[in-house]
Amino acid sequence: MDLKKLEVLLRAADNGSFVKTAQDLMYTQSGITHIINNMEKELGFPLFIRTNKGVVCTEEGKRILPLVRQLRNVNEALQQECSLIRGVASGNVRIASYSSIAIHWLPTVLESFKLDFPNVHVQIQEAADIAEMEEWLANGYVDLCFFSLIRSGPFEYIDLVDDPMMVVLYPGHPLAKKRAIALEDLKDEPLLLATNPRGLDYDVAKVLSEVSFTPRIEATSNLDHIIFSMVQHHLGISIEAALMLTKYLQPDTPYRTAVLEAVCTQAQRYPAYLASQQMERQALTEMEQEVFRLMAVGKKNEEIAAVLHITVRTVKFHTGNLYRKLNVSGRMEAIRRATELGIH
């Protein structure tokens, strides 16, 4: 079956919507419907139940989804291996992120990444909150995520950037002269707050959960420029992450900012990539696992190359991938880390 069709199936299952799938893959909705209908005819059973609210996988569809994901991953691994043979690093990296991180911070990171890996295709998906990103990561929809706040769960978190919460005020506001503002200072202040499809911005909601008073929420919007326009017109003050404010922090901006100092460390933002232990095991290709097994019994690069009938250069390439995926810097650390993850 065409791998592009399988990607349509996976996206539709994850999205629960043909409309969003069409937007993600730059198809028409009728094109997605046509592909799914043809797949159902080819397979001989329905894949989705169509409803007014979207689509839901049938039991038959749910049974084949894990196999379809494996097929997609194997194909990507095959493409990467072929690229390695040709001496060109390629493949796909699927990233989930908040829109603020994707817009204001991630492009700088990707600029450097693309210089080193020009043939790697990057796909970025905007998520509403951490829960959605964790779900995508767990089911293999994305490879890594950038977001804020460390949570418990089967994932590894790596801090990248300290991004404190800020208070945004108009000039002349009584608090505008302060460099740092305490949570209690926000009592009775009209708040203009950012939202996402699921409600208040996750980090803002976390901040407000720490206060001992009932916040006075004057207005909300999912558009940053509306929030700042209302601040400019003295309708209230806002709470935003410093990272998101980057493009607004100009000398002539008609408002002021101050660090929200009383916020507990858990409420600070740390854009971070995460990878679950399960994902790390899946990320190792068959060849990388073979290299690791030989490495674990003390084989040197030359010996590994001879056993696997590959060049020493190729062994070094796979070893580098192992170190990167396991987040280690050396051979002994890689063996210890892989053992912890159950890679044998």
Architecture of domain 89-160+268-282: 3-Layer(aba) Sandwich (3.40)
Percentage, residues of the chain above pLDDT 90: 16
Classify domain 165-267 by CATH number. Answer: 3.40.190.10
Domain 89-160+268-282 identical in fold to domain 165-267: yes
pLDDT in tens, 220-230: 998 888 888 89
pLDDT in tens, 239-248: 887 777 766 6
Confidence of residue 28 (pLDDT cuts 50, 70, 90): confident
Classify domain 1-68 by CATH number. Answer: 1.10.10.10
pLDDT at 267: 36
Confidence of residue 282 (pLDDT cuts 50, 70, 90): very low
Question: pTM score, two decimals?
Answer: 0.49
Asked if 97 and 161 touch (Cβ cutoff 8 Å), the reply is no
Backbone angles phi, psi at 165, to 5 degrees: -80, 140
Give the separation between CA 207 and CA 213, rounded to whole angstroms: 12
- Average pLDDT, stretch 81-104? 72
Give the separation between CA 202 and CA 189, rounded to whole angstroms: 20
Give the separation between CA 174 and CA 164, rounded to whole angstroms: 22
Domain-wise residue ranges, the chain: 1-68, 89-160+268-282, 165-267, 284-340
Residue 247: CB partners within 8 Å, gap ≥ 6? Answer: 104
Q: Report domain 284-340's class.
A: mainly alpha
- The encoded tokens of residue 128 equal 């509403």
Strand, coil or helix: 182: coil
Range in 172-181, 190-199, 305-314 with the lowest mean pLDDT: 305-314
